[in-house]
Amino acid sequence: MLWAMGEKAQVLVLGAYGLAGRAIVARLAAKTGFHVVAAGRNPQKLDGLLASVRSERVRVRELDASDPRSLRDACTTASFVINAVGPYPRSGAAIARVVVECGRPYLDCANEQRHYHNLAELDALVRGQAVPMITAAGAIPGLSTLLIAHLLERFPEATGVDCCWAQFRHAYADAGLASMMGGLLEAADRPVALREGKHAPLVVGRSTRHFDLPEPFGRQRLLEVPTIDTLTIPAHFPLQEFHTWFYMGDLPTGLLGIVRILQPNRRPWAYRLIETIMRRINARDTRKAMAAGVGPESLLVAFIDNGKETTTHQMLFRDGAAATACLPVHIASRCLRNEIAKTGLLSPLDVVMPQELPSLVEDAALRLDIDAIPR
Q: With the CA atoms of 63, 69, 72 and 77 taken in that order, what torsion angle do they form, in degrees rounded to the nearest 10?
A: -60
373 or 118, higher pLDDT: 118
Q: Give a yes or no: residue 66 inside a domain.
A: yes
CA distance 324 to 19: 9
| Section 259-284 average pLDDT | 88
Same domain, 129 and 231: no
Query: 2-11, 59-68, 110-119, 269-278: which has the minimum mean pLDDT?
Result: 2-11
More confident residue, 188 or 72: 72
Report the pLDDT value the prediction gives residue 278, as an integer from 0 to 100.
85
pLDDT of residue 279 exceeding 90:
no
pLDDT in tens, 345-365: 999 999 999 999 999 998 999
Residue 365 lies in a domain: yes
Q: What is the pLDDT of residue 372?
A: 45
Are 157 and 297 in a shared domain?
yes
Gyration radius from the chain CA atoms: 19
Domain shared by 156 and 128, yes or no: no
The pLDDT assigned to 374 comes to: 40
Q: What is the mean pLDDT of residues 33-61?
A: 95
| Count of domains observed in the chain | 2
Residue 240 DSSP label = S
pLDDT, one tens digit per residue, over 163-190 is: 999 998 887 777 777 888 888 888 889 9
- Asked which of 90-94, 114-118, 261-265 is least confident by mean pLDDT, the reply is 261-265
Residues 40-68, mean pLDDT to the nearest whole number = 95
Check whether residue 293 and residue 177 sit in a common domain.
Answer: yes
Residues 89 and 165 in one domain: no
Q: What is the CATH number of the domain that holds 340?
A: 3.40.50.720
Mean pLDDT, the chain, as a whole number? 91
Report the percent of the chain where pLDDT is more than 90: 71
Q: DSSP of 100-138, one letter per residue? A: HHTT--EEE----HHHHHHHHTTHHHHHHHT-EEE---B
Q: How many whole angstroms from its chain centre is CA 223?
A: 18
Residues 209-255: tens digit of each pLDDT: 999 998 889 999 999 999 999 999 999 999 999 999 999 877 777 78
In terms of domains, do 302 and 229 share one?
A: yes
The reply to whether 172 and 233 lie within a common domain is yes
For residue 27, being part of any structural domain is answered with yes
pLDDT at 8 over 50: yes
Q: Is residue 3 scored above 70 in pLDDT? A: no
- For residues 46 and 29, what is the distance between their CA atoms, to the nearest angstrom? 15
Question: How many C-beta atoms lie closer than 10 Å to residue 120's C-beta?
Answer: 15
Asked whether residue 233 is domain-assigned, the answer is yes
Let me know whether 159 and 304 are in one domain: yes
Evaluate if residue 323 carries a pLDDT over 80: yes
Q: What domain range includes position 32? A: 6-139+324-352
Q: Is residue 374 part of a domain?
A: no
Q: Is the domain of 16 the same as that of 81?
A: yes
Task: Give the model's confidence band at 344: pLDDT under 50 very low, under 70 low, under 90 confident, else very high.
Answer: very high
- The better pLDDT of the pair 285, 30 is held by 30
Based on the domain organization, do 114 and 235 belong to the same domain?
Answer: no
Q: Read off the pLDDT band of 5 (50, 70, 90).
A: low
Kindly state whether residue 32 falls inside one of the protein's structural domains: yes
Q: Can you give the pLDDT at residue 375?
A: 35
> Residue 290 belongs to a domain with what CATH number?
3.30.360.10
More confident residue, 374 or 110: 110
375 occurs within a structural domain: no
Q: Rounded to whole angstroms, what are the CA distances from 102 to 67, 95, 133? A: 14, 11, 12
Residue 70 lies in a domain: yes
What integer is the mean pLDDT of 323-340?
95
User: In the prediction, which pLDDT does 292 show?
Assistant: 81
Please report which confidence band the pLDDT of residue 73 belongs to, taking 50, 70 and 90 as the band edges: very high
Q: Is 209 left (phi over 0), alpha (psi -120 to 50) or beta?
A: beta
pLDDT the model gives residue 74 = 96
* Whether residues 184 and 299 fall in one domain: yes
Asked if 174 and 204 sit in the same domain, the reply is: yes
